[in-house]
């Protein structure tokens, strides 16, 4: 699913770099072109089993998007990402993507590191 999310974000014209995250720590010496977005899964939660003689659980998945850009560009970049992702349905049997939260991570030189979290859900089943 991360590859699908990266591919979707590559369609956002405001982003110069879109990749899977390779660190959880904001970097002083970021070499990628900015604005940049780094994608990482940040959590999953499973609901209670609703099956009688089988497993049927709702599974929610959260993705973190590390957005790196000058402070003055943050609103524009976040809005472009939000426009691309809200309501997007990942490949497979997933629900529409929703926004969960956003927060500042750090300010390194001229770049703000911001994390937005988006969520989708699906069902997992086993007999």
Model confidence pLDDT, tens digit, residues 62-110: 999 999 999 999 999 999 999 999 999 998 889 999 999 999 999 988 8
Look up tokens 């957005």; give the residue. 67
Instruction: Walk me through the domains of the chain, giving residue ranges and CATH numbers.
Output: 2-126 (3.30.2000.10)
98-108 and 55-70 strand pairing:
unpaired
> What whole-number distance in Å separates Cα of residue 63 and Cα of residue 39?
7
Q: Give the CB-side neighbour count of residue 7, counting CA atoms within 13 A.
A: 8
Distance (Å, whole) CA 86 – CA 57: 24
Residue 126 has pLDDT above 90, yes or no: yes
Tokens 């979707």 label which residue? 8
């Amino acid at each position: 699913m991360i590859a699908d999310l990266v591919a979707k974000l590559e369609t956002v014209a405001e982003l110069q770099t879109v990749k899977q995250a390779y660190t959880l720590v904001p970097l002083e010496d970021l070499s990628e072109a900015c604005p940049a977005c780094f994608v990482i899964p940040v959590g999953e939660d499973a609901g209670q089993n609703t099956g009688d003689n089988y497993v049927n659980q709702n599974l929610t998945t959260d993705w973190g998007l590390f957005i790196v850009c000058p402070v003055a560009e943050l609103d524009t970049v976040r809005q472009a990402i939000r426009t691309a992702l809200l309501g997007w349905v990942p490949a497979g049997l997933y629900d529409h993507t929703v926004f969960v939260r956003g927060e500042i991570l750090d300010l390194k030189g001229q770049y703000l590191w911001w994390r937005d979290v988006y969520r989708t859900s699906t069902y997992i089943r086993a007999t």
